[in-house]
């Protein structure tokens, strides 16, 4: 399988998982559960929109990486952008759509004489993700450099 | 072996452990929280003795794989002033249940005043569950008007 066809397949899978499923998901949630979710102050539509935007951009980047010269600087930039976008996805996912919370989410619910403030702290996973994405950037750079050296004509050191 | 491959393997291990930790931690944490909340929905049977005792019995169960710590604070608010409260903090090992019994004690004379019509009586509860070696937490601050379900 060539890198181009691999990129097309990966981009399609990304589109199905992160655009198709979030798009269809609200229609499969029972109406009473959907009403309960909305009354909790959770912006489900906003959350799915964010996931779909990230999914579409990731699919585009995946496609672009497969079609550019793997030894070019553009390829390196695209692969680092992919890594960065995966961090954005994790932050959005763990923060239930609130990027600024960095994994800390708060909801206020008020109904029938009861007011409730719910807070969930998952920041540790965002910190771990930041560390792994930084490592990923290093890995991407090393791989790109190794590929460049291997692609250089014998006897020549890649610039 | 290339250094980039070693980093790749390290990233995969960390990401896998992180995902596993998230699932296991959330399972324990939300399980304890939901069982603690269901215990509180059984209704309050006020004991009209002197002092008047308002008991709250929770039976949180940790059906997960990691220990959790549950902190509960219950308070009685009359006309915006906190008149009684009780707190408890328990560690719930994985796979076990620990009963949490709280009670608010109010002098009979004051209670008669608080429970009469025209006073604004509220119950305030703070439930906090931490799990995965205190790395993740879930908390709920709830204010309930007397008579609300």
The DSSP secondary structure of B52-117, one letter per residue, reads: EEEEEEE--B--SSS-EEEEEEEEEEETTEEEEEEEEEEEE-TT-B--EEEEEEE-HHHHHHHTST
**Cα A92 versus chain centre, distance:** 8
Instruction: Report how many domains make up chain B.
Output: 1
pLDDT of B128 reads 95
Residues B109-125, mean pLDDT to the nearest whole number? 84
Listing from the earlier edge strand, what are the strands of the sheet with A114-121?
A: A104-111, A114-121, B136-145, B121-131, B68-78, B81-92
Confidence of residue B149 (pLDDT cuts 50, 70, 90): very low
pLDDT tens for residues A112-145?
Answer: 778 888 899 999 999 999 999 999 999 999 999 8
Token output for B14: 């960390």
For residue B121, give the CATH number of its domain.
2.60.40
Confidence of residue B71 (pLDDT cuts 50, 70, 90): very high
- State yes or no: pLDDT of B126 exceeds 80: yes
pLDDT tens for residues A59-105?
Answer: 999 999 999 988 889 999 999 999 999 999 999 999 888 888 899 98
Confidence of residue B80 (pLDDT cuts 50, 70, 90): confident
pLDDT of B38 reads 75
Instruction: Residue B139: list chain A partners with CB under 8 A.
Output: 118-120
Instruction: Residue A118: list chain B partners with CB under 8 A.
Output: 138-140
Q: What domain range includes position B18? A: 3-145
Residues of B with CB under 8 A from a CB of A: 2-4, 7-8, 10-11, 14-15, 18, 21-22, 132, 135-145, 147-149
Q: In this prediction, does ipTM exceed 0.90?
A: no
């Amino acid at each position: 399988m060539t890198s181009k066809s691999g990129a097309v397949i990966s981009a399609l899978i990304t589109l199905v998982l992160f655009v198709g499923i979030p798009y269809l998901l609200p229609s499969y949630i029972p109406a009473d559960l959907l009403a309960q979710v909305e009354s909790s102050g959770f912006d489900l539509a906003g959350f799915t929109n964010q996931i779909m935007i990230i999914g579409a951009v990731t699919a585009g980047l995946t496609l672009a990486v497969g079609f550019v010269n793997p030894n070019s600087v553009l390829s390196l930039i695209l692969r680092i952008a992919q890594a960065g976008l995966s961090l954005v996805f994790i932050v959005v996912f763990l923060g239930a759509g609130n990027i600024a919370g960095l994994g800390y989410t708060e909801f206020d619910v008020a109904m029938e004489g009861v007011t409730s403030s719910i807070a969930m702290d998952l920041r540790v996973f965002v910190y771990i993700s930041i560390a792994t994405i930084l490592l990923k950037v290093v890995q991407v750079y090393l791989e790109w450099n190794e590929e460049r050296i291997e692609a250089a004509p014998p006897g020549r050191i890649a610039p | 072996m290339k250094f980039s491959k070693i980093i790749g393997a390290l990233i995969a291990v960390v990401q896998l452990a992180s995902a596993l930790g998230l699932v296991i931690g959330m399972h324990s944490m939300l399980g304890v929280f939901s069982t603690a909340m269901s215990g509180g929905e059984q209704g309050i049977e006020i004991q009209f003795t002197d002092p008047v005792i308002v008991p709250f019995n929770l039976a949180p169960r940790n059906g997960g794989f990691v220990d959790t710590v549950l902190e509960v604070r219950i308070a009685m608010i009359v006309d915006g002033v906190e008149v009684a409260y009780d707190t408890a903090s328990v560690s719930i090992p994985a796979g076990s249940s620990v009963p949490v019994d709280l009670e608010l004690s109010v002098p009979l004379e004051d209670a008669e005043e608080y429970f009469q019509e025209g006073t604004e009586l509220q119950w305030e509860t703070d439930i906090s569950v931490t799990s995965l070696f205190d790395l993740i937490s879930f908390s709920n601050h709830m204010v309930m008007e007397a008579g609300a379900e």
